[in-house]
Amino acid sequence: MRALAWIALGFLFACCQTPSFAAERPNVLMIAVDDLNDWIGCLQGHPQVKTPHIDSLAARGTVFTNAHCQAPLCNPSRSSLLSGFRPSTTGIYALQPGMRTVTRLKNHVTLPQAFTQAGYHTFTCGKIFHDGSISAADQPREFNQWGPAPGMPRPTKKFVETPAPHPLVDWGVFPADDHRQADWQIADAAIAKLKAVPGDRPFFVSVGFRLPHVPCYASQKWFDLYPVDQLQLPPYKADDRDDLPRFASYLHWKLPEPRLKFLVEHDQWKPLVRAYLASISLMDSQVGRVLDALHATGRSDETIVVLWSDHGWHLGEKGITGKNTLWERSTRVPLIFAGPGSAKGARCSRPVELLDVFPTLLELCRFEQRSDLEGHSLVPQLKDAAAERPWPAITTHNQNNHAVRSEHWRFIRYADGSEELYDLRTDPNEWTNLAKDAKQAETIRQLAVWLPKQNTPPVPGSASRLLTYENGVATWEGERIDPEAALPD
């Protein structure tokens, strides 16, 4: 009798420990996109863009129309989303170092690690963490399985000779066969995994697409979607930066991405915009392939799909291309949830952050909520898009430079104390800086309350695209910025 009792207890214990809770917890398919701004149909960021698959996903879920990144740069943005901490908390501002080399994050349980530890079958392919930021020794603690993360195919010679030459800063028709594209191969890996995931436990599959990150290459059929003679360029105002503080230009002091002046002088503005749009549509087609594969598994109804981009991208606005700013074009990103727990066909205009993805997935998958995360669950807004939300979205680029985005306002304060303020209701292009308008003093006071109180110095190993400001001296990547030097144009 005692032996039978021990057997029964052992069986009960095993049942409690075995991660066979597929019927209790939903699956997660997380799709990340690299350098995609709001130029998708459901965000109406560009009137001609064609993204039918992402738009279809938005139609069966909730699209957040006022979502913003934590940093306008790959490594700090992705490190923030996956750790649940702000860049101003961790000190990760540059393209280096990897998050696991940072003392505070060495043993921190990341978003994928939380699902791996909970018994989910976890898989990643493409770019989820910033390339090379997780060592081979650390990879198994994040995901059960790491799939391929191919780089972009490149021609033998660049198509466009840009200033400050960089091999990735290029655009044009290439290659002729879409199967050679990194995003096609990444989609192939995700599709194969979705077909093979175990049926006895839930899965967490993450897919990181590379386009429309430069080089903006696509085959001719994607360019044909955007005829040159009909192409609409983004809005631009020649004197747009005349009312900006000097420090605003320090955030993008020396970059490989070309300025608008170069594009205009070399007749490359339309070709770049066209290539960016073509790259978006190609990437969207691969999102569609993955979503179709999920549907074919028969597990779509029990799978949360979340799609996000790490930050935006300028295409001439403010006279620049690329990211590395605290303006709307650089911070506004797609964020879509669909599946269990999300209303269908909903649009939420509350300000939200990529930092909110981590706690939202934990709540949707019925994990215990964690007090160490700095984001806030979006579950109330997934149930009711009009639900109140007291927090604004905060974007940080290098130490003590922050943007606070509320439902209607953008407030920026730089490390030297200079400021910008925009009313997005009347000035969606952020052409008129209201920071010196005495009538807006109370608005600034209310928004400034949300500026991060902690501004951790850059962690050791920080280098590329690093701006520092100490004792009145600004330095870019270790080189002092002459306060009398001409601003880059």
pLDDT of residue 2: 40
Name the domain count of the chain: 1
Strand partners, 136: none
- Of 69, 74, 125, 348, the active-site residue reads 74
In a domain, 454, yes or no: no
pLDDT of residue 221: 98
Q: Distance between CA atoms of 424 and 446, rounded to whole angstroms?
A: 16
In a domain, 400, yes or no: no
| Residue labelled with tokens 């750790």 | 83
334 in Cβ contact with 38 (< 8 Å): yes
In a domain, 205, yes or no: yes
In a domain, 284, yes or no: yes
In a domain, 476, yes or no: no
In a domain, 155, yes or no: yes
In a domain, 4, yes or no: no
Domain of 198? 25-248+257-393
In sequence order, the 6+-apart residues with CB closer than 8 A to the CB of 192 are none
Say whether 303 sits in a helix, a strand or coil. Answer: strand
Q: CA dihedral defined by 159, 161, 163, 165, rounded to 10 degrees? A: 70
In sequence order, the 6+-apart residues with CB closer than 8 A to the CB of 287 are 31, 33, 53, 54, 57, 187, 209, 307
* Residue 432 buriedness (CB in 10 A; 0-12 / 13-18 / 19+): middle
Q: Distance between CA atoms of 452 and 457, rounded to whole angstroms?
A: 13
Residue 15 CA neighbour count, 13 Å, CB half:
6
pLDDT of residue 489: 87
Q: Is 74 a catalytic residue?
A: yes
358 in Cβ contact with 367 (< 8 Å): no
pLDDT of residue 13: 34
pLDDT per residue as tens, the chain (489 positions): 344 343 333 333 333 333 444 448 999 999 999 999 999 999 999 999 999 999 999 999 999 999 999 999 999 999 999 999 999 999 999 999 999 999 999 999 999 999 999 999 999 999 999 999 999 999 999 999 999 999 999 999 999 999 999 999 999 999 999 999 999 999 999 999 999 999 999 999 999 999 999 999 999 999 999 999 999 999 999 999 999 999 999 999 999 999 999 999 999 999 999 999 999 999 999 999 999 999 999 999 999 999 999 999 999 999 999 999 999 999 999 999 999 999 999 999 999 999 999 999 999 999 999 999 999 999 999 999 999 999 999 999 999 999 999 999 999 999 999 999 999 999 999 999 999 999 999 999 999 999 999 999 999 999 999 999 999 999 999 999 999 999 998
- Of 53, 68, 130, 397, the active-site residue reads 130
397 in Cβ contact with 73 (< 8 Å): yes
- DSSP-derived letter for residue 333 is -
Q: CA dihedral defined by 96, 98, 101, 106, rounded to 10 degrees? A: 140
Tell me which residue of 319, 320, 321, 323 sits closest to 310, measured CA to CA: 323
At 268, give phi and psi (nearest 5°): -115, 0
- CATH number at 111 reads 3.40.720.10
Question: What is the value of pTM for the model shown?
Answer: 0.95
Tell me which residue of 328, 317, 223, 227 sits closest to 276, measured CA to CA: 223
Q: Is 254 left (phi over 0), alpha (psi -120 to 50) or beta?
A: beta
The DSSP code sequence of 335-362 is EEEESTT--TTEEE-S-EEGGGHHHHHH
- DSSP-derived letter for residue 476 is E
Q: Is 179 a catalytic residue?
A: no
